[in-house]
A and B are shown apart, each in its own frame.
Chain A
Amino acid sequence: MEREIPNTRSDGLSDLRRTIQNIERRSQYHARTAPISFGTAEIDVALPWGGLARGGLHEINGDGGNFGFHAGLLRRAVGENGNILWCRHAGVERETGRPYGPGLMHFGLNADQFLFVRSRHAVDILWAMEEGLRTPGLAAVVGDGIAPDFTATRRLQLAAEATNIPAFILLPPRVLQQSALPSAALTRWDIKTTCLAETKGSTRWQADLLRCRGGVPKNWIIEWNEQTLCFHLADILAGGANATYKETA
């Protein structure tokens, strides 16, 4: 009996240590697992995760009007200094241009947060994304200009779930019509710009949540606020459809 006491004691001690470690880790863990908030409660509550699930794949579709929405979402996901692996397909560059640093700054994203990967082959892009999703030091992974098939999205989704790193896919413009493309992504968004917002330098999007695992499709008209770095619902009555012409010079 006497010999067992030290054993149980050390067991208790190691249990205690483990508990403390878990408590310490929890806050860290929480920041890494909390859903991505849009910064506006109306959208967050409509999603089954109370925001956008962090460990998951999200597809953003749009005919060239989706880049700002994506950048805003990225900023919401990575915060001030999270690292982003941005894998872009060289083939669609002619069509959609390259991500432009000074423009991304309007969304609160800095040059040193980005690590870019560029390739002509979609296979390489998918590989790079998966490598990124298996690297816990990253805050988000972006696949730009690729339309992965079901198997590829499944792989990315599983990798994202394992490390709790959000993955975003910017579908190439021509996929717009094929919104029935099978996919294992948690959400698919269809983003269109609508008429100009009143504030200068900000845009208004019609965001259609086409697909949402465990949730219902919904749509909003949202804007990005450069000061608070939040999305917010647009006041639909403001800034009507009148054509206005301002020449500042």
Chain B
Amino acid sequence: MRLTKKRHSADYDWRQDGPFALVLPVSGGIRIYAVDGAAASEGIHPGMTLADARALLPDLLIATADPEGDARALAGLVEWCGRYTPFCAHDGADGVVLDISGCAHLFGGEDGLLSDLRARLKRMGLTAKVTAASTPGAAWAWARYGHDEMILPENARKSLMPLSVSALRLAPETVERLQQLGLHCIRDIIDLPRAPLARRCGTAVLDRLDRVFGEISEPISPVRPAPEWRTRLVFPEPIGQAEDIVLATQKLLVELCEILEGHGRGARQLSLVFYRVDGTTQTLMIGTGRPNRNSEHLHRLFLEKLGDAAPGFGIEMMILEAIVTNPLTAHQLGVNDDTVDDGRRLRLLVDRLRNRLGEAGVFQIAPVASHIPERAVKVRPPVTGLSCDQWIVKQPRPIRLLATPELIDAIMPTPSVVPARFMWRRRTHHVRTAEGPERIAPEWWRHNADRAYRDYYRLEDQDGRCFWVFRYGGYIEIADMRWYMHGFFA
């Protein structure tokens, strides 16, 4: 399948009609980037300088090309082609390749699929050349160099014979070399002895030939990983109302969950793709902590996301895919509240929370064997019902810890003792009692560890508030005599 598309910049005046070209400033001047049929028939071809083109055709209409925009639009089109098959990929800068094996019957056979595709592309305002063939290589050649848009039958050697050697997806130098040798068509090289041909023109020629004729298989790597399970819903009329989308999602979920149940799987990650009438798509994703196939729960997760749904001019099709699934043995899924145990409820809660707040927003804490206060706690993803180790706390520890210790202004009678009062956050605290020090040694075996000891003190101020402060001590020179606030008791 081949697609030639033109995106016109805003500065193109649609009221004027005539030969049209897109230009792109490159090193060495402005060159023609793409041309339409009328311009091509006047002898203008891509790669020409604009000055040459203007000399040939003074009233050529031009607009600036936008290759990045084209690439984005093509990526959007590839996504959109997901409506036909999960295996779709880019094919160069101007093509889309689809693997339609096993999908064509959904659209009334290959003919039906192709004519549907053609009609839709035309409605989107795209000029496209759509063909189908038994190998990607043959389809590529036929879409670009074939003379009509028919479907190549299984044994189409004959139709491919008269095509130019450039239909083999060869590098321009190789094509040039072949042509210098007088080999212009596929017919000319197909029966040549293979070894001398490879020696003179490189093995690429043979490789490409084999790919065209199916001697070497050429799988299509889809842009998105192919989902294991999917369900689709096509609407006779495009929908746009929020309630309709919610209902359709529910319907798809029920269907998908039935399929998953039949296969003993539970979904971990789901994507819902909206195919809008204007040929654009939108994807909503949800994830679950544990494999799940409860359509009600998944629906609740999607409800959170459906707020972002932008139907645009209407959605004509929705596809729900289970991207990641895990085995989930059959068990009695609770229907009424009494049979659902607390652990399960918690897992579902975690799913809902993570879905809205993100993976990093929901977590649990676990101990780490370290004496350094800020290292003693690690954050872990929530696993409910799993008990973990506990801290072994021999010394008092604050109930709140500052993420980064804050410098305090300490006023000390002599350098060796604890402050008599200190300023912290623009407030003066008079120290009533102090306990300490508790010396915490640096972890020298770690690469980026502190090098100094920390002497922690528990200071209580005139209001009874208790602070955990420290200063560096030990063998380093007493250069850093500053005090740091690290946590709060009570």
Contacts and interface: CB of A to CB of B under 8 A. Distances in A.
A201 B350 CA distance: 34
B346 A137 contact: yes
Interface in B416-441: 417-418, 432-437, 439
Interface string B376-416: 11000010101110110100111111110000000000000
Nearest to A244: B433
A111 interface: yes
A29 interface: no
Given A68-B490, A244-B433, A105 B393 contact: yes
Interface stretch (B8-16, B232-240, B360-368): B360-368
A104 B399 contact: yes
Contact of B466 (A71, A136, A193): A193
Contact of B342 (A94, A131, A137, A203): A137
Contacts of B401: 97-98, 100, 103
Nearest to B425: A95
B57 interface: no
A93 interface: yes
Interface stretch (B76-84, B100-108, B116-124, B351-359): B351-359
Nearest to A67: B399
Given A64-B465, A194-B464, A110 B400 contact: no
Interface string A138-179: 100000000000000000000000000000000000000000
Nearest to A136: B345
A225 interface: no
Given A137-B345, A248-B436, A196 B464 contact: yes
Interface in B237-272: none
Contact of A71 (B366, B382, B399): B399
A69 B154 CA distance: 80
Interface stretch (A38-46, A48-56, A116-124): A116-124
B377 A112 contact: no
Size class of the contact patch on chain B: 35 or more
A138 to B, nearest CB: 7
A112 B399 contact: no
Main secondary structure of the interface of A (DSSP, over half): mixed
Interface in B426-483: 432-437, 439, 460, 463-466
B213 interface: no
A115 B384 contact: yes
Given A124-B357, A245-B434, A100 B464 contact: no
Contacts of A249: 436-437, 439
B405 to A, nearest CB: 10
B342 A98 contact: no
Given A99-B399, A115-B362, A195 B464 contact: yes
A132 B345 CA distance: 10
B487 interface: yes
A114 interface: yes
Main secondary structure of the interface of B (DSSP, over half): mixed
Contact of A106 (B362, B373, B396): B396
Contacts of A101: 365, 367, 376-377, 391
A98 B361 CA distance: 14
Contacts of B489: 68, 103, 201, 203
A195 B438 CA distance: 22
B349 interface: yes
A195 B433 CA distance: 10
Contacts of B384: 83, 115
Given A105-B390, A105-B391, A203 B490 contact: yes
B343 interface: yes
Contacts of B367: 101-102, 111
B488 interface: yes
A247 B361 contact: no
Contact of A97 (B342, B365, B402): B402
Contacts of A67: 399-400, 488, 490
A243 to B, nearest CB: 5
A127 B349 CA distance: 12
Contacts of A3: none
A116 B364 contact: yes
B352 A100 contact: no
B488 A111 contact: no
Contact of A111 (B341, B345, B365, B402): B365
Interface string A179-217: 000000000000011111000110111000000000000
Nearest to B485: A97
The CB with the most chain A CB atoms within 10 A, among B403, B432, B436, B487, is that of B432
B488 A112 contact: no
A231 interface: no
A117 B362 contact: yes
A246 B433 contact: yes
B376 A131 contact: no
Top 7 nearest A-B pairs (CB, nearest first) are A137-B342, A193-B464, A203-B490, A68-B490, A97-B400, A103-B399, A102-B397
15 contacts: A93-B403, A98-B403, A102-B373, A102-B377, A103-B401, A117-B357, A118-B363, A131-B353, A135-B345, A136-B337, A137-B343, A196-B433, A196-B460, A201-B396, A247-B418
Interface of B: 337, 341-346, 348-350, 352-353, 356-357, 360-367, 373, 376-377, 382, 384, 386-388, 390-391, 393, 396-403, 417-418, 432-437, 439, 460, 463-466, 487-490
Given A67-B399, A99-B399, A247-B417, 18 more contacts: A68-B399, A100-B373, A100-B399, A101-B365, A105-B390, A111-B391, A131-B349, A132-B349, A135-B345, A136-B337, A137-B343, A138-B346, A195-B460, A200-B396, A200-B435, A204-B464, A247-B436, A249-B439
